[in-house]
Amino acid sequence: MGAWGYGNFDNDTVLDWIGDLVETEGLELVSEFIEMVLDEDDLDADTASSAIGAIEVLAALHNRPATEQHDDEDLEEWIEQHKGQGANLLEVAQKALRKILAESELKDLWEETEHYEDWVNTVKELENRLVV
């Protein structure tokens, strides 16, 4: 796991995903990764990490950004261009986060660390920001 912290942007996988996202015009990549979480039976860590990043972006689109900084001007510009979009994804994003916390390789990897509870709290905080 290429993570240096338990924050939702603190891993190489989600930063790579953000690099792909800022090259897109719409929310297809956001919705794709949220749906992948719900569709896959064996949820791998990379998909879960990318989905969490997608859900962070979704929250930011609805003026509920994370307090942690990602320092990516391209992402901030992309979010500004797409503000308010994706409201139809908020409920399904909550389901995706619950699945990641319950049954994913990412959860299993975090369980093996001393920061498991911190990671769980960070993901739950994101889920709470999605509530309308």
20-52 pLDDT, tens per residue?
999 999 999 999 999 999 999 999 999 999 999
Which two structure tokens, joined as six digits, stand for 20? 């792909």
- The answer to whether residue 98 scores a pLDDT higher than 70 is yes
Residue 11: the pLDDT is 85
Q: Give me the helices (H) in 1-104, please.
A: 12-21, 28-39, 45-61, 73-81, 90-102
Residue 19 included in any domain: yes
pTM of the model: 0.93
Range of the domain at 83: 12-130
Residue 6 included in any domain: no
- The answer to whether residue 2 scores a pLDDT higher than 90 is no
- The answer to whether residue 69 scores a pLDDT higher than 70 is no
Report the number of distinct structural domains present in the chain.
Answer: 1
Residue 3 included in any domain: no
Residue 7 included in any domain: no
Q: How confident is the model at residue 123 (pLDDT cuts 50, 70, 90)?
A: very high
Q: How confident is the model at residue 10 (pLDDT cuts 50, 70, 90)?
A: confident
Instruction: Return d(Cα 118, Cα 38) in angstroms, integer.
Output: 24
Residue 110 included in any domain: yes
| Residue 101 or 14, more confident | 101
| DSSP annotation of 8 | T
Residue 5 included in any domain: no
Residue 53 included in any domain: yes
Q: How confident is the model at residue 132 (pLDDT cuts 50, 70, 90)?
A: low
Residue 107 included in any domain: yes
